[in-house]
Chains A and B, each alone.
Chain A
Amino acid sequence: DAMVIQNPRYQVTQFGKPVTLSCSQTLNHNVMYWYQQKSSQAPKLLFHYYDKDFNNEADTPDNFQSRRPNTSFCFLDIRSPGLGDAAMYLCATSRDRGAGTEAFFGQGTRLTVV
């Protein structure tokens, strides 16, 4: 039944060691988003894809990259994780962009940096 699936649910990585988080969707939605959510804070948008068009938020660090090889999959790459990158990472999809388009979230990947 899961429509937006994130793997793994929990990821532990070493300081400075590249890590990749994955997201897949069965909704065939055009838009895929990556959010970072730290404890007791609002989700913060890192970037989104509208189809193959990549849209980076102005304040997203260069350390964060993303790939969308096809409609169903999207990856978040953290090139050199720091302690401050420990957070819940949420993937979301929506059929289209724009007001009124519902976003569907995955369960998230909790990243720990040691």
Chain B
Amino acid sequence: QQQVKQSPQSLIVQKGGISIINCAYENTAFDYFPWYQQFPGKGPALLIAIRPDVSEKKEGRFTISFNKSAKQFSLHIMDSQPGDSATYFCAASKGYSTLTFGKGTMLLVSP
């Protein structure tokens, strides 16, 4: 019930392409869905987050799409750049609970 499943495990995208990372969850009580970005040797940092009352949130080149009925959400990175190369974690939480993280996706954007 607490698990968040993330795919793919790794992704290679050409510069300028669209990177898409998917997550699925089981617990319908989850009400907060953030994405964290982690560069090598650094701690994760919040990238963008969404609540289930909206289906999409966009911040610059980063968009979260949320499908409540399918219990899925995804991160889209438009015009992917080499500087976007990092590991991306989706996460979910409910109420006063702590974050449950997905296993991460290692993104490499080739020049």
Contacts and interface: CB of A to CB of B under 8 A. Distances in A.
Interface of A: 4, 33, 40-43, 45, 48, 90, 92, 97-100, 102-108
Interface of B: 9, 31-32, 34, 41-46, 49, 51, 89, 93-99, 101-104, 106
Interface on chain B toward A: helix, strand, loop, or mixed SS?
Answer: loop
A34 to B, nearest CB: 11
Given A4-B43, A42-B89, A92-B43, A103 B99 contact: yes
B98 A99 contact: no
Contacts of B46: 102-104
A41 B103 contact: yes
Contacts of B49: 100, 102
Contacts of A41: 103-104
A90 B98 contact: no
A100 B89 CA distance: 16
